[in-house]
Amino acid sequence: MKRIFILFAALLLVTPAFSQLFRIGIKAGAQTKDVPTYETLTGTNPIQAIADQSTWGFHGGLFARIKLGPVFLQPEAVFVSNSYDYNVTTGTVPELKSQTFNRLAVPVLLGVKLGPVRLNVGPQATIQIGSPEALIDDPNFEEMYKGALWGYSAGIGIDLLSRLNIDARISGGLGDMLGDQVTIGSQTFNLDYGSAAIFLSVGWLFGK
């Protein structure tokens, strides 16, 4: 992740020389995503999400916009964080526990401009940063988290004054991030972490 941000910083320094074709920007905002679920198929430690719907998190990062004739290419490196609460039953009384997922989202979008409006779509890699807190006391619990997920990103945006960017985007995984089932000790969980997320962000483009 550090190398990616160093690369974007280096590109920022050379942007003035190529400002007509290449620009660098920063962005930040919020995103909402369905709460990941742990369906207990076998075992004695049920894990139940407190919220049945979506929760809000935050994101922020860097992007580049490269003109390619009538279209543009926009690679990004964005830090994304979401937290979720669960009731975990390990005895007779449920215990409240939280998990925070920190990820690096790297979409590469192909877009077209229609006046101030932008349409874009492309593939996205989502890389897990560290591991969230284990919800049950098992040394192998963290093995259920993969480091990366391949997916998609698509959305619409608007450019104001050639610098201010406002974007709405949806992204999701192509297939199940963690596999259909994971067995930890004597327990088997059916996991769902590949649901779509909606991103709302504001950005600022440097250069002309």
Question: Mean pLDDT over all residues of the chain?
Answer: 80
Measured distance CA(165)–CA(159) in Å, rounded: 5
Predicted TM-score (pTM) above 0.85? no
Summarize pLDDT for 46-63 with one digit per residue, the tens.
Answer: 777 776 666 789 999 999
* Strands 94-114 vs 22-34: parallel, antiparallel or unpaired: unpaired
Of 117 and 89, the one with more pLDDT:
117
Of 37 and 64, the one with more pLDDT:
64
Category of 9 on φ-ψ map: left (φ > 0), alpha (ψ -120 to 50) or beta? alpha
Summarize pLDDT for 109-130 with one digit per residue, the tens.
Answer: 999 999 899 999 999 998 888 8
Q: Tell me, what DSSP letter sits at residue 140?
A: T
Would the pLDDT of 156 be above 90?
yes
Domains of the chain are 2-205 (2.40.160)
Measured distance CA(193)–CA(2) in Å, rounded: 26
Q: Quick one: pLDDT at residue 10?
A: 59
Would the pLDDT of 15 be above 80?
no
Of 159 and 37, the one with more pLDDT:
159
